[in-house]
Amino acid sequence: MEKMLDLISKEVQDAFSKSCYNEKYGKVTLSNRPDLCQFQCNGAMAAAKEYKKAPIVIAKDVAEQLLESRIIKEADPVAPGFLNLKVKESFLVSYLRQMREEENFGLNRDKNPKTMVVDYGGPNVAKPLHVGHLRSAIIGESLKRMGTYLGHRMIGDIHLGDWGLQMGLIITELKERQPQLPYFDLSYEGDYPKTPPFTIEELEEIYPAASEKSKKDQFYKEEAMEATFLLQKGNRGYRALWNHILDVSVKDLKKNYKALHVEFELWNGESNVQDRIPAMVQSMRDNGYAYESEGALVVDVKEERDTKEIPPCMILKSDGASLYNTTDLATIEQRMEEIDPDEILYVVDKRQELYFEQVFRCARKTKLVKDDTKLTFIGFGTMNGKDGKPFKTREGGVMRLEHLMASIQEEMEKKIEKNKNSVGEEMGETAKLVGLSALKYGDLSNQASKDYIFDMDRFTSFEGNTGPYILYTIVRIKSILSKYEEMGGRLEGNEIKEPSSEGELDMMLGLAQFNGVVENAFEEKAPHKICAYVYELANGFNRFYHETKILSEKEAEKKSSWIALLLLTRDILETNIHMLGFDAPERM
Ligand code: ARG
């Protein structure tokens, strides 16, 4: 379905050309003075120069042509030459009716669907999932869902950090603690035990302990580096141990991401592409892209137009070891071979921006990607505590995601209990859903690149620009609808009719913007635009609700129209929050 704004623009463009002005001046935008009009066209000002006429004269000519319009109700020329516009209720109503009938509420799926890989999550194996990785998961999941809704083939890849020094550290620490394990016996030739020699809790204690030690003890650190090296060279015992670490850790990660309603299509990791590194590096050498510099192997990536210094991309260290870069490049190579995406999106902490700039340039220069393959970095800011510093536990440690979620749930339970609408098990489930909305909406409603403050009280509040407020609004609509049914009403067969109040009209105007908003939000990779839209719709509905006695309305026709409008509002809200990555309960 054509976007409402496009239909209005066309109408006004037509009027420009009928009054013998170039139609290019007829572009219409949403009004920035909603108190005066719904839409506006500022084209007469620009046209004035071309036609050497006063803008107001042009605006008046155009307004004249719009008198007979089926779409425009009022076109008001205002000094110095604005055209203030209102649409006809009949047009709006038929637009909404069509939205209700069409698939995806009239949103046109992309005619040329793209294949996009979303690289998000990026947790490091054996390190507890903490809030630092939370933003990537939340934002990435939302972008993926938005893309899917628009008809693209979206493939999420978690890109596990499963190959670095942290592995060597864990192996070294285990060796200190349990030297008798067969993994450390070089002469051992039998099968290794099936059960891992640690639990997830132990694993999560081992890593920080080892990391601490390595900072103080140079010898220990060297041992960990040696262990990493042996693992990467394929030492049998270490490989077996590494598999245990991966199994235990991935199981825990899966549980956590499930609770977050985050789902990855691919569980690939840094380790998956190590085999292809030697050949990739060789070809970079052979083609003259990579050269030795101070012992290391590098590819120059600076360009003439650079205003700041972009250092070369390092491919191998002087000891021949590969780096984070090398792995990312090999991953690009693999994705091109196996998936051949049109675009790869990286949802990563914005402090890695320069790093990705180097990687992207290097991938382009060395022809790992096609000329038209897009590589996009979506950098996000830090989630801070109320003190403005990166979010920590009360004790000052790294907050485990699980604990954060549990405390949000607890807070929600307290609040929901007061409403007395759900009990027992249902309440726990509801608190989880509402808690998730608090966490995700609190994050997504900010522009991704900005830092934000995690404020438990504000995020879990049922009032203001919060997830729980949005859910509360949806639940309110659902409850009206089910009361209507209890009173013998039927949800099918109702039709939206012309609005009987300003509030209702506003709501209708809001709903009609759905396709435009979603398209634009994905175009700009900006879930916060969906949040802003959802918030506006929720406010619109609540205003209407407070002004209107829906269920006790005597006029059947009016009531039926409102029910249809409520159904559409509920559906549009639910579709949007699903794209944000959470859903609404039936009651709360
Ligand atoms: N594991 C990395 C980290 O914790 C994030 C991975 C981001 N993705 C990537 N392709 N490099 O910083």
125-155, pLDDT tens digit by residue?
Answer: 988 777 778 999 999 999 999 999 999 999 9
Residues 349 and 136: beta-carbon distance below 8 Å: yes
CA-nearest residue for atom 2, ligand 1, is 122
Q: Return the residue matching tokens 């009016």.
A: 558
CA-nearest residue for atom 5, ligand 1, is 122
Indicate the helix (H) or strand (E) that contains 343. Answer: strand 343-349
Average pLDDT value for residue range 112-120: 97
CA-nearest residue for atom 8, ligand 1, is 122
Q: Is 503 in the pocket of ligand 1 (CB under 6 A)?
A: no
Q: At what angle do helices 424-444 and 401-419 cross, to 10 degrees?
A: 120
Using pLDDT thresholds of 50, 70 and 90, give the confidence band for residue 391: confident
pLDDT tens digits along 203-225:
989 999 999 999 999 999 999 99
Ligand 1 binding pocket mutation candidate from 348, 359, 360, 380 (most atoms within 8 A of CB): 348
Looking at the predicted structure, is the pLDDT value of residue 438 above 80? yes
How crowded is residue 91: how many other Cβ atoms within 10 Å of its Cβ?
19
Looking at the predicted structure, is the pLDDT value of residue 396 above 80? no
Using pLDDT thresholds of 50, 70 and 90, give the confidence band for residue 186: confident
Measured from the Cα of 161, ligand 1's closest atom is 1
Looking at the predicted structure, is the pLDDT value of residue 121 above 90? yes
Residues 324 and 358: beta-carbon distance below 8 Å: no
Using pLDDT thresholds of 50, 70 and 90, give the confidence band for residue 471: very high
CA-nearest residue for atom 12, ligand 1, is 122
CA 570 to centroid of ligand 1, rounded, Å: 37
Residue-level pLDDT at 423:
66
Looking at the predicted structure, is the pLDDT value of residue 30 above 70? yes
Task: Report helix, strand or coil for 293.
Answer: strand
Residue-level pLDDT at 130:
77
Residue-level pLDDT at 126:
82
Two tokens, residue 191:
């099968």
Which of 330, 232, 229, 313 has the alpha carbon at shortest distance from 279?
330
How many whole angstroms separate alpha carbon 200 and alpha carbon 245? 9
Q: Which amino acid is at 460?
A: T
Residue-level pLDDT at 133:
87
Looking at the predicted structure, is the pLDDT value of residue 422 above 70? no
Residues 333 and 370: beta-carbon distance below 8 Å: no
Average pLDDT value for residue range 99-125: 95
Half-sphere exposure of 43 (CA within 13 A, CB side): 25
Residue-level pLDDT at 450:
96
Measured from the Cα of 356, ligand 1's closest atom is 11
Q: Is 325 in the pocket of ligand 1 (CB under 6 A)?
A: no
CA-nearest residue for atom 7, ligand 1, is 122
Pairing of strands 383-384, 28-30: unpaired
Which of 440, 394, 400, 425 has the alpha carbon at shortest distance from 252?
400
Ligand 1 binding pocket mutation candidate from 118, 120, 124, 264 (most atoms within 8 A of CB): 124
Q: What is the mean pLDDT of the chain?
A: 94
Report the chain's terminal Cα–Cα distance, integer Å.
35
Q: Is 161 in the pocket of ligand 1 (CB under 6 A)?
A: yes
How many whole angstroms separate alpha carbon 281 and alpha carbon 508? 58
Residue-level pLDDT at 399:
77
